[in-house]
Amino acid sequence: MKIWIIWTGYVWLIQAIWLAKLGFDVVSLDIDEKKIEDLKNWIAVIYEPWLKELLAEVKENIKFTTNYKDLNDCEIIFVAVWTPQDKRWRTNKDFIHKASISIKQNLENNDKVIVIKSTVPVGTNKEVSEILGEWFEVVSNPEFLREWKAINDFFEPDRVVVWFWKNVKWKTKEKIRKLYNYFIEKNIPYIETTWETAELIKYAANSFLATKISFINELSQLADKVGADIQELANGIWLDKRIWKSFLNAWLGYGWSCFPKDVKSLIHQFSENGLKGNIIEAVDNTNQNQLNYFLNKIENFYDDLDWKNLLVLWLAFKPDTDDLRESRAIALIQKLQEKGAEVVWYDPLEKARENVRTFYPEINVIDDLQNVDFSKINWIIIATEYESFNDLDWENIFSKISMPVIFDGRNILDKNKIKKIGFIYKKI
C-alpha cells in the first residue's frame, strides 16, 4: 500500500518514518524546499531521540517531494498540515483548506482516502469533504504523539482512534484497518466513531491534562501561603488509586504549541456554540497566572532586579527537544529582562541553542557551563525538568557563585542535598 503524508512537521515526520518501518511505501510532501532537500540527503530536520538512526533504516521505503503531481499513484493521503491560531485564538484552517484544494486539483483518479491527522475544530472534516467532493472519502484520525517520546508513542500507543462519516464505504474502512493492522493484532484499542467525536477528543484529552497541571499549580500558591509542601501534597493526591499521578507536578505552567493552542481553541469552540467553557477558561487563566506567581516569588526575595545577573538552565519547553514554542522559560526570561535583569542561558542540546540564537537573539546563550563565570552570577533558575540537574557539581558551583540562590521552577532538585551544600533553595 502506498501512502502520502502532506507536511513534514514535528510529529508527522515521525508518523511517515514509522509507517515506512512497518513496510508501507511512504511519500512525504512539504512545500519547504530546503527541508525536503535535507530529508532527501537523510538529514533529520527535527530533533527527536533515535530519529537519525530510524531515518537511516527506512531509506528503501520512504521518499520526499514538493510536487503534488505525484499524488495519483497512492491509495491513502494523510493531511497533517499546521493549524495555528489567529490573534483571537481561533484555529486558522487556511493550510488545511489549501492542502485540500491542491489535492483535488492534482488528482486524476478521485477514488482516494483522505485522512485528516491535523488537530482541527468541529466541522473541519465536513468542510474538507465539501472542498474535495463526493468522490473522496474523508477520514479523521488524530495523532497522540508526544515530542521527545514520539517514536515510542507511535509504536506503542494507548489507542488508535479512527472516525468515519456515517456513509463511508466499507472498502475505506478495510483500507484503514489494513493500515493499522499491526496495532490491531497487538490488541491496542482500536476505536471507530464519528467526525464530530473525532474532532473533539484531541482537544478534550489535551485540555484535561492541562487542567491537571493548572489544578496542582493553583494549589501550589495556597501551599506557599500556608507553609505546605506541594510535592508531598501531590503525592498524597496521586496515591489515591482513582487519580493518576501524571501531570500533577507543580511548575511554571504548561507550554509547547499543543496545550496552549488546544485549550484556547476549545474555549473558542464553546463560545461559537453559544456556551461558556468555565473550567477551560479557568485552566487557561491559571496557567497565565502561574508565571507571574513565580516571578513575584523572585521579586519578593530581591527588592530590585536591575543589577541581578542570573543563569537559566535549559530553555526548551521540555527535556530532549529543541522546540521553543510557548516555552515558559522564555516567557519568564523576557519578563525578567523587561525588569532589567541580565540573563545567561544554557541548554545541553546544540540544536536548541541554535534555535534560540535564530529566534531570540536578545537572549545570551552559552555553549558550555564550564564557560560560566559564576562569580558574576547572583542566582540560578531551573526551567526544565532534566534529571541530570542533580548530577551537576553543585559543591563546585557553590564555591564560585556570587550569591548561592536557586529558584527551582520544576521542583526537580534534591532539596535536602542542595540545602546541605549551603544554597538558599526556593521552589514552586
Mean pLDDT of the chain: 87
Residue whose C-alpha is closest to residue 97's, from 111, 76, 107, 83 = 83
Residue whose C-alpha is closest to residue 258's, from 426, 11, 86 = 11
Residue whose C-alpha is closest to residue 338's, from 306, 368, 385, 367 = 306
Lowest-confidence segment of 184-198, 199-213, 314-328, 380-394 by average pLDDT: 314-328
Torsion-angle region of residue 396: left (phi > 0), alpha (psi -120 to 50) or beta? Answer: alpha
For residue range 60-71, what is the model confidence (pLDDT) as tens digits?
A: 999 999 988 877
* Cβ atoms of residues 282 and 343 within 8 Å: no
Residue whose C-alpha is closest to residue 381's, from 324, 319, 308, 322 = 308
Higher pLDDT, 167 or 134: 134
Three cell numbers at 146? 508526544
Confidence of residue 321 (pLDDT cuts 50, 70, 90): confident
Confidence of residue 109 (pLDDT cuts 50, 70, 90): low
* Cβ atoms of residues 96 and 83 within 8 Å: yes
d(CA 354, CA 198): 37
Burial class of residue 70 in the structure, from the number of CB atoms within 10 Å of its CB (0-12 exposed, 13-18 middle, 19+ buried) = middle
Is the pLDDT score of 37 beyond 60? Answer: yes
Q: Which residues pair with 65 in a beta bridge?
A: 29
For residue range 242-280, what is the model confidence (pLDDT) as tens digits?
A: 998 889 999 999 987 789 999 999 999 999 999 999 999
For residue range 132-142, what is the model confidence (pLDDT) as tens digits?
A: 988 888 998 88
3-state secondary structure of 63: strand
For residue range 184-207, what is the model confidence (pLDDT) as tens digits?
A: 898 988 888 888 888 898 899 999
Three cell numbers at 287? 496557567
Is the pLDDT score of 166 beyond 80? Answer: no
Among the listed residues 151, 161, 230, 258, the single catalytic one is 258
| Cβ count within 10 A of residue 61 | 17
Which residue ranges form the domains of the chain, and what is each CATH number?
A: 2-188 (3.40.50.720), 302-427 (3.40.50.720)
Question: Across the chain, which distance is largest between two alpha carbons, in Å?
Answer: 72
Is the pLDDT score of 236 beyond 60? Answer: yes
Annotation says 258 is catalytic: yes
d(CA 129, CA 372): 56
d(CA 183, CA 83): 27
d(CA 116, CA 79): 5
Residue 49 to residues 46, 149, 150, 268, 321, Cα–Cα distance (Å): 10, 8, 9, 35, 8
* Average pLDDT of the segment spanning 330-359: 86
3-state secondary structure of 406: strand
Higher pLDDT, 176 or 135: 176
Cα angle value 261/217/92 (rounded, 5°): 5
